[in-house]
């Protein structure tokens, strides 16, 4: 009999820092600029990314200092799981908070950090930096692929 992996036996709150951090698949979707419909609360992702996102890796280029450098950046560990509605449907944190399992392409399941890119579940090479557009034009960059 094999032991269940930690994400199936622990709640997000029970996870160690190392376990928590390993849940991030490096998709980079949380770093996309988003628009929220004031009436419906619907979230719309754009192809415009935070200036700290390294679009070739899907990782933050200054993760340790991101909260100080980007005022809108959130520490998910300090955010109530009921407020994860803005995270993409494929996000491990959102999936586990809802009682779902990780997808087959997640690095913890597949054993391969590149699988998330092969599954085209990342922003890798698909976004532009927020410093390159006029913020008033953000709605012109709404995309549909981020929630897949």
Confidence (pLDDT) at 132: 96
pLDDT of res. 3 = 79
pTM of the model: 0.91
Sign of CA dihedral 80, 82, 84, 90: positive
At 129 the pLDDT is 96
Give the residue carrying structure tokens 């006029």.
134
Q: Which residues of the chain have pLDDT under 70?
A: 1-2, 148
pLDDT at residue number 1:
46
pLDDT score at 2: 58
Return d(Cα 68, Cα 18) in angstroms, integer. Answer: 22
The pLDDT value given to residue 56: 84
> Which residue blocks in the chain are alpha helix, DSSP H?
6-9, 17-22, 66-69, 92-97, 107-110, 115-118
- Report residue 73 as tokens: 């950046």
pLDDT at residue 121, rounded to an integer = 84
């Amino acid at each position: 009999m094999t032991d269940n992996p930690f994400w199936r036996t622990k709640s997000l709150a029970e996870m160690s820092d190392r376990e928590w951090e390993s849940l991030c698949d490096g998709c980079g979707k949380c770093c996309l600029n988003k628009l929220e419909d004031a009436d419906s609360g619907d979230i719309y992702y754009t192809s415009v990314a935070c200036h700290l996102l390294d679009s070739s890796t899907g990782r933050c280029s200054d993760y340790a200092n991101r909260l100080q450098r980007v005022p809108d950046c959130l520490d998910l560990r300090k955010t109530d799981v009921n407020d994860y509605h803005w995270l993409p449907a494929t996000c491990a944190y959102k999936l586990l908070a809802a009682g779902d399992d990780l997808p087959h392409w997640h690095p913890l399941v597949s054993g391969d950090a590149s699988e998330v890119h092969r599954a085209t579940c990342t922003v890798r090479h698909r976004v532009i930096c927020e410093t390159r557009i006029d913020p008033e034009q953000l709605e012109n960059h709404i995309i549909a692929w981020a929630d897949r």
